[in-house]
Amino acid sequence: MKSTESKNLITAIYCRLSQEDDLQGESNSIKNQKLILQQYAEQHRFPNIQFYVDDGYSGANFNRPDFKRMMNDIENGKVGIVIVKDQSRLGRDYLQTGMLMEITFPQYDVRFIAVNDGVDSANGVSDFSGIKNYFNDFYARDTSRKIRAVQRAKGERGERVGTTIPYGYMKDPNNPKQYIPDPETAPIVKRIFEMYASGIGIVKICDRLSAEKIVCPSVYAFRKNGSKSGNPDLSRPYHWAQNTVRKMLSNQEYVGDTVNFKTYSKSNKLKKRLKNDPENILIFKDTHEAIIDRKTFEMVQRHFAGRKRPDKQGEMDKYAGLLFCGECGKRLYLHRGKTIKPENNAFQCGGFQSRTTECTAHYIRESVLDTIVLHNLKTVTAFAREKPDEFYAMATHNGEEEAEKFYRNAKLQKEQLEKRIQDLDNIIRCLYEDRVSGRITPERYDLMANGYEQEQAEKKRELQELAERISEVDMRDQCIQEFIRNAKQYIEMPKLTPELIRVFIRRIEVYEKFEKYSRTAGNPIRIHYAFRLPEQEGVPAIDFLAQPTAKTA
């Protein structure tokens, strides 16, 4: 072994403390580790003592700043001795810790000492060192398992399991577990959604925010509470990244919902977060004050579902997420380019383009579609505006009698479901009392209780579905009245805008021309308006079918 005295090599005292270690008291504190190890080094007259300290880092994570600095010094031949309080301070992954002790340190001629474990590589490696590393690893896995169980229980109760507060919110001073809108940033979030909903692309949104010198979320969080989670670039405080805006526009928490388990990790040793499957994500609605209304949020998500590439002016396709092929159901995508004049921009069926269906092109120019849609909008809104009573009667045709019958049946069904759920609660409680008193065996109890609990879960699911159907029927009249109010508001419609489409329309279907390849025959177009109406033979009560004679190709 090389002489540390002759070369005046570093005696590296490495200290580490995690949150779990901190709970065990002062014995594992950084201060205590430093005192013990410094005293040990001085007693043995080890030269050139230097401390390497990682406070708040798990032993299963080897991506620690000072550990990496120490390893860099080792690889550069600057370190002669490494001293730790015990092997678990070095790490709790028995494979990597064993690799360090048995291969890496000997390779660089470094003496390793774990004071409390009685390990000194100058005396040879003890056979018990590997066993201790395994138990240290087991402790980390067991702790991780317990923490995951606690987080799972919290998440299933509807408590937030994430630690990052979304930009636009802040903690309620009276209840730290609750979010409230941040008066400084909530208006910015609302404005971003409104800009995107009006057809402005993400790139242009970022440019506008930067030009107006609005501080980006990561720098804002750092200035407010010192958080470095977003890797803030303090040299560019007004730089808004596209990915930041894109994540904000898809964050359901802005409508007042708590969304748990969006990501997961495969084990305590793999820190990379993976996207969870939708069925594993839990959503609890209306848990805090919303910044964005649900209608705007849903419209933005429909835009995300369509093509999101803006044009040269940074504008979005106004029909993104709303335009579909009437035959195969695939989306229609806008074709444009530098060599194509704006008036020649055209849509084609996505199934035809990708050859995933046996569909045809359904070619229609954007300008022609704009003319048709605007004409129909003016027609239907004028009728709703000038004859609101007739419009309401047409929209609710056959609806009142059906709604009354539905409410009668729903009320009876709801009472029956609630009574059965309560009865099952009483049955399970009685079964448990019989099990405790010994009147039935634990095995018999488990068998019977599982059956009743499954039935109860099914009844609760049916009750939830019934409540959702009742809510939909309740919303019908409100939606019709909202349409009439909007029709009165938008009297002048000089041109078709994304805002008009967002307010009035939920889906547009384009059908193939009656004369295939004709340059004069028009495409039949079906427009579904934004409010739900009772259906007659599967077709909404108000449904405009446009068959233009204008040239569409």
DSSP 9: -
Percent of the chain as helix, strand, coil, to the nearest 5: 50, 15, 35
Give the integer Cα–Cα distance in Å for 483 and 530: 8
Bridge partners for 55 per DSSP: 17
CA atoms within a 13 Å half-sphere pointing along the CA-CB vector of 305: 15
Please give the pLDDT value at position 471.
65
**pLDDT tens, residue order, the chain (553 aa):** 455 444 689 999 999 988 766 555 555 788 888 999 999 999 999 989 999 999 888 888 888 899 999 999 999 999 999 999 988 889 888 788 888 888 899 999 999 999 988 888 888 766 667 677 666 666 666 666 766 777 777 777 777 777 788 899 988 888 888 889 999 999 999 999 888 877 777 888 888 999 999 999 988 988 888 777 778 888 888 988 888 888 899 888 998 888 888 777 766 566 667 777 777 788 888 888 899 888 788 878 876 665 555 555 455 677 877 888 988 888 888 887 767 777 788 888 888 887 777 888 888 888 888 888 888 888 777 777 777 777 666 666 544 555 566 667 777 888 888 888 888 888 888 888 887 888 888 788 788 888 888 888 888 888 888 777 776 666 556 666 666 777 777 667 777 877 677 667 878 898 888 776 666 667 888 888 765 443 433 443 344 334 444 444 4
Please give the pLDDT value at position 13.
94
Please give the pLDDT value at position 316.
64
Give the integer Cα–Cα distance in Å for 274 and 266: 8
Please give the pLDDT value at position 267.
63
Bridge partners for 260 per DSSP: 282
Please give the pLDDT value at position 534.
39
Give the integer Cα–Cα distance in Å for 148 and 268: 10
The pair of three-digit structure tokens given for residue 462, joined into one six-digit string? 């049916």
pTM of the model: 0.49
Give the integer Cα–Cα distance in Å for 79 and 4: 8
What's the count of helices (H) and strands (E) in the chain, helices before strands? 19, 20
Q: 357-363: list long-range contacts, CB under 8 Å, 24+ apart.
A: 357/328, 357/330, 358/328, 359/325, 359/327, 359/328, 359/330, 360/327, 360/512, 360/516, 362/325, 362/326, 362/327, 362/332, 362/510, 362/511, 362/512, 362/523, 363/552, 363/553
DSSP string, 238-271: TPPPHHHHHHHHT-GGGGT-EEE-SEE-SBTTB-
Please give the pLDDT value at position 544.
39
